[in-house]
Amino acid sequence: MPYDPTPAVSNVLHPIFDMNVPEGFLADQIKRRMAKHMQIDEMRLLSVIGGNQIGRLTYQNPVEASVPVKAQVGLQQILSADTSQGVFEFLVETYFESGISGVQPKVLVPDLDKLTGSRKTMLSSDLIVKSGADEYVHLAQNEFLCMEAARIAGMETPPFWLSGGGDLFVMERFDLNSTGRLGFEDMAVLLGLNKDPHDNYKYSQSYETLAAVINHVCAQGDPLRELERFFSSVCLSVMVRNGDAHLKNFGVIYTHPGARETVQLAPVFDVTTTTVYENYNPKSGRSLVDRTLAIKMNKVKTYPDRQQLMEFGRKHCGVEKPWVIIERIAEAMSEALVAHQARIDIELFSAMQAEWDGGRAMALHDSIGTGMKRKPIAKKPL
């Protein structure tokens, strides 16, 4: 985006295609089911997902007919199921052909509750269903609480839910509206970056660079509004201690690549408190908590203090009163903790509350330490 008539010749996928290649959990699911029957490469993965991915692009083998997605389970059944993990395993088995990024177990699912009469198929899935499974302790609850803080703070979020058992996080896709599918490009695409074997690309660049990209691509719309939204999102990640706010967790949506005036920042998504988990380092053989940002701010990955955060807001996002946003998010975090304590695992709640207290204190007051040290709840990597 925008259209570029210049021919592009490359021996790797273009970034906009690269964005849709299944990775992590879903890529493993597809390969496990299909490797016996065919050679699996990136183009084959794209043809498998077809149009079942985020954004307006679709991929189809010219000799294979596209098949509509059949809805078998509704949102209410997913949320009320007695055995959430059993439901998730069924959804994965049924809808594994999804193109959605991230290593977390997740799948795109059509919502049967939205279909009427005898109609059971739809052009695309409209729900994202996530599970922490055994590898990620209470991750669904973690994301739900973080997203609730964002919602209460007035940030734009897709509708989302936590299942009754607390095992599944469900969110509506933000790239669908009443007229069809919106375009979506994450920051890695907008910067023209390709994947690398170790995923270093999505942890490159800086939040200052992302602000400049947003200012450029939203120039014909309302760039100041979008930059303020971006600043709010960065503040949230800093304050809830989300150390995974990388390039693929920010992006823009638009109606058409030629309609530059419609470009705006995508709603908040994929926010978790990462500092309640340990990361295993195979080189050292140790498990440690990563207390750094995903990408740089002010040339370092250290969490910013209040003055650094406000300076980022003023200088790079054009926010006149950054402290107002910081205080609003801090209040929303407190409200989310009070409102949902009963739904969150006791140990996770205690861990997140401690991390949030440290994040809020650092953002609200000057000369506060770099973070609260505490025992993590699990030795599993995010």
Domains recognised in the chain with CATH numbers: 15-131 (no CATH), 180-364 (1.10.1070)
pLDDT number for residue 227: 99
Spatial contact of 288 and 282, defined as CB atoms under 8 Å apart: no
pLDDT of residue 368: 45
In angstroms, rounded to a whole number, what is the distance separating the alpha carbons of residues 60 and 66?
7
Mean pLDDT of 57-85: 79
User: What pLDDT band is residue 377 in, cutting at 50, 70 and 90?
Assistant: low
Instruction: Give the amino acid at 230.
Output: F
Residue with tokens 């009320």: 80
More reliable by pLDDT, 40 or 255:
255
Higher-pLDDT residue of 221 and 73 is 221
Q: What is the mean pLDDT of residues 164-177?
A: 94
| CB-based contact 160:128 (threshold 8 Å) | no
DSSP category for residue 220: T
∠ Cα 203 229 234 (to 5°): 35
Q: What is the CA radius of gyration of the chain?
A: 21
For residue 129, pLDDT over 50 is answered with yes
Burial code (b: 16+ CB inside 10 Å, e: under 16) for 78-92 equals bbebeebbebbeebb
pTM of the model: 0.90
Q: How confident is the model at residue 375 (pLDDT cuts 50, 70, 90)?
A: low
- Do residues 329 and 236 lie in contact, with contact meaning Cβ atoms separated by under 8 Å? yes
If one compares 262 and 126, the residue with the highest pLDDT of the two is 262
Mean pLDDT of 186-207: 94
Give the bridge partners for 171, in sequence order: 128, 160
**What six digits make up the tokens of 172?**
């509506």
Residue 122's beta-bridge partner residues? Answer: 69
The winner for highest mean pLDDT among 177-181, 206-210, 286-290 is: 206-210
User: Exposed, middle or buried, 246 (CB in 10 Å: 0-12/13-18/19+)?
Assistant: buried
- Quick check: 381 pLDDT over 70? no
Q: What's the average model confidence in pLDDT over 267-290?
A: 89
Quick check: 132 pLDDT over 50? Answer: yes
pLDDT tens, residue by residue, 309-330: 999 999 999 999 999 999 999 9
pLDDT bucket at 220, cuts 50 / 70 / 90? very high
- 159: helix, strand or coil: coil
Q: Where are the alpha helices (DSSP H) in the chain?
A: 15-18, 24-34, 42-49, 75-80, 84-95, 139-152, 187-190, 207-217, 223-240, 306-317, 322-340, 346-364
Task: Tell me what pLDDT residue 93 has.
Answer: 81
Q: What average pLDDT does the chain have?
A: 87
- Give yes or no for residue 72 having a pLDDT over 90: no
DSSP secondary-structure letter at 50?
T
Strands 264-265 and 180-181: unpaired
CA distance 286 to 292: 17
pLDDT at 123 over 60: no
pLDDT the model gives residue 135? 66
Q: Alpha carbon of 170 to those of 53, 175, 188, 334: distances in Å?
A: 16, 15, 25, 23
User: What is the DSSP code (8-state) at residue 297?
Assistant: B
Q: What is the pLDDT of residue 114?
A: 83
Least confident of 98-102, 110-114, 150-154, 344-348: 98-102
Q: Which backbone phi and psi does 304 adopt, to 5 degrees?
A: -75, 155
The set of residues, in sequence order, having a beta carbon less than 8 Å from that of 56 and lying 6+ positions away, is 175, 180, 181, 182, 183, 184
| pLDDT over 50 (residue 382) | no
Confidence of residue 121 (pLDDT cuts 50, 70, 90): low
C-alpha–C-alpha distance, residues 330 and 372, integer Å: 17
